[in-house]
Amino acid sequence: MAIATTVLGRLIKAAITLLAIVVLNFLLIHAAPGDPAAVMAGEAGAADEIFIAQLRERFGLDQPLYVQLWNYVGNIIQFDLGYSYRQGAPVFDLIMERLPATLLLTLTAFGISLLFGVAMGVAASARVGRAGDSVITGIALLFYATPLYWAALMAVLVFSVWLGWLPGFGYETVGGGFTGLSRALDILKHLILPATTLGLFFMAVYTRMTRASMLEVAQMDFVKTARAKGLPDRVIRRRHILRNALLPVVTLAGLQAGQLVGGAVLTETVFAWPGIGRLMFESLQARDYNTLLGVFLISAAMVILFNIVTDLVYRLIDPRIGATR
């Protein structure tokens, strides 16, 4: 019951946030230098007067601003994100076609970064002040300072160009003709480099956070209680320290989701990964603002959804949240 109310509350909040983003998009179109219709059509399509006239008509650009806003919001509520003149397809369709690849990439990267980040953070905290700790903290610090796209490029250079171990471009082998399991394996091979390089930065974040959190929790009174019971250290670390230390990491992971989607733009660009990040880059190049804003909206929606999920996970871990005394 409490969960249902929470989810409902979150969904209402999410709807309000999305609406606000739609309004933001609308304002941006009007803030852009030049004719809003030309902005939406993209500069490259500016020559096509008929199309721009159509746009003017459709959005009623001669009407007062609030009417235009009303129309704009109305369209988007019906999943009409506009038409990409450059790509010759509705923006919504373009995005839906690309979304699975991005989900695969970001979720894999998220899994990798969280798993390895927490493991490394735990390992470092267990060796605090010793060589193992310094090595792990050093690696984390380095990844934390490395631009995502550069890590991706260097990975391509080393593992694809020089060593030839893994493919450096694309989602699957073009014309490979794989089906079923062999296709899945082929995609997996293509996934390794992009997912790992996208995850590196976030892994560093989680490593640092987990380490700090573990050390903090280790100082708490209940850990002393656990030791006074005669529990072995590894049980104390797993059952008492780690579980409590994960709470802030989960919170952070939820907040980081947005950055993961942003990072996907860079990774997908480097690896020619056919997701919405790559779509965003292409629309940038083509100045196809309609598509750009559409991707922006959908990625925000993804992040909001992800936040709701982490919120629920948090509730599962921490009995104190949402309980009525």
Partner 1 sequence: MSDTVLRIENLTLDLPSGADRAHAVHDLSFTLARGEVLCVVGESGSGKSMTASALMGLLPGAVTIGGGRAIFGGRDVLALPEAERRALRGAKIGMIFQEPMTALNPLMRIGDQISEVFEAHGLLTPTERRARALALIEEVGLPDPKKIIRAYPFQLSGGQRQRAMIAMALALEPEILIADEPTTALDVTTQAQILDLIAEIRQRHGMAVMFITHDFGVVAEIADRVIVMRHGEMVETGPAAEVLAAPKHDYTRRLLDAIPSNAVPRPDRVTAAPALEIRNLRKTYRTGGGWGRAAREVRAIDDVSLTIAKGEVLGLVGESGSGKSTLGRAVVRLVDPDSGRILVGGEDMAALDANALRRARRRVQMVFQDPYASLNPRARILRSISEGPVAQGVAKRDAEARARELLEVVGLGADAADRYPHEFSGGQRQRIGIARALAMDPDLIIADEAVSALDVSIQAQVLDLLRDLRARLGLSLLFITHDLRVAAQLCDRIAVMQKGRLVEIGPVDEVFLNPRDPYTRSLLDAVPGASWADGGSPARAEAI
Partner 2 sequence: MSDFWSRFSRNRGAILGLVLLAAVIIVALIAPLIFPKGPWQMVQRPFLTPFATEGLPLGTDTLGRDVAAGLAYGARVSLLVGLVSTLVALAIGVPLGAVAGYYGGWVDEAAMRFTEFFQTIPNFALAIVLVAILEPTLTSITLAIAIVSWPPVARLVRAEVLSLSKREFVDAAQLAGLSNRRILLGQILPNAMSPIIVMASLMVATAILLESSLAFLGLGDPNIMSWGYMIGAARTVIRSAWWLSFFPGLAIVITVLALNLIGEGLNDAMNPHLNRKGRA
Q: Which residues bind partner 1 (CB under 8 A)?
A: 5, 9, 220-222, 224-232, 235, 239-240, 243-244, 317-320, 323, 325
Q: Residue 118 or residue 276: which is nearer to partner 2 going by CB?
A: 276
Q: How far is the CB of 126 from partner 1 (least distance, A)?
A: 14
Q: Residue 163 or residue 228: which is nearer to partner 1 going by CB?
A: 228
Please report whether residue 251 would count as binding partner 2 according to CB under 8 A: no
Q: How far is the CB of 170 from partner 1 (least distance, A)?
A: 45
Which one of residues 156, 191, 198, 246 is an interface residue with partner 2 (CB under 8 A)? 156
Instruction: Please give the helix or strand (H or E) that residue 89 lies within, else none.
Output: strand 89-90
Q: Which two tokens stand for residue 83?
A: 């038409």
| 193-214 b/e (C-beta count within 10 Å ≥ 16 → b) | bbbbbbbbbbbbbbbbbbbbbb
The partner in contact with residue 96, picked from partner 2, partner 1, none with C-beta cut-offs of 5 to 8 angstroms by kind, is: none
Q: Residue 194 or residue 263: which is nearer to partner 2 going by CB?
A: 263
Cα–Cα distance for residue pair 257/136, rounded to 1 Å: 24
Assign residue 177 a region (left: φ > 0; alpha: ψ between -120 and 50; beta: otherwise): left
CB neighbour class for 34 (10 Å; exposed up to 12, middle 13-18, buried from 19) = exposed
Q: Decide: helix, strand or coil at residue 90.
A: strand
Q: How far is the CB of 265 from partner 2 (least distance, A)?
A: 7
How many DSSP H helices and E strands does the chain contain? 13, 2
Please report whether residue 128 would count as binding partner 2 according to CB under 8 A: yes
Please report whether residue 169 would count as binding partner 2 according to CB under 8 A: no
Please report whether residue 141 would count as binding partner 2 according to CB under 8 A: yes
Q: How far is the CB of 124 from partner 2 (least distance, A)?
A: 10
Q: How far is the CB of 136 from partner 1 (least distance, A)?
A: 20
Please report whether residue 293 would count as binding partner 2 according to CB under 8 A: yes
Cα–Cα distance for residue pair 42/169, rounded to 1 Å: 28
Cα–Cα distance for residue pair 102/277, rounded to 1 Å: 7
Which one of residues 136, 265, 268, 290 is an interface residue with partner 2 (CB under 8 A)? 265
Q: Residue 55 or residue 261: which is nearer to partner 2 going by CB?
A: 261
Segment near partner 2 (CB under 8 A), from 72-80, 177-185, 242-250, 295-303? 295-303
CB neighbour class for 97 (10 Å; exposed up to 12, middle 13-18, buried from 19) = middle
The partner in contact with residue 296, picked from partner 1, partner 2, none with C-beta cut-offs of 5 to 8 angstroms by kind, is: partner 2
Please report whether residue 40 would count as binding partner 2 according to CB under 8 A: no
Q: Decide: helix, strand or coil at residue 192.
A: helix
Q: Decide: helix, strand or coil at residue 83.
A: strand
The partner in contact with residue 83, picked from partner 2, partner 1, none with C-beta cut-offs of 5 to 8 angstroms by kind, is: none
Q: Which long-range contacts (CB under 8 A, 24 or more apart) does 128-132 make?
A: 128/211, 128/215
Please report whether residue 81 would count as binding partner 2 according to CB under 8 A: no
Q: How far is the CB of 102 from partner 2 (least distance, A)?
A: 12
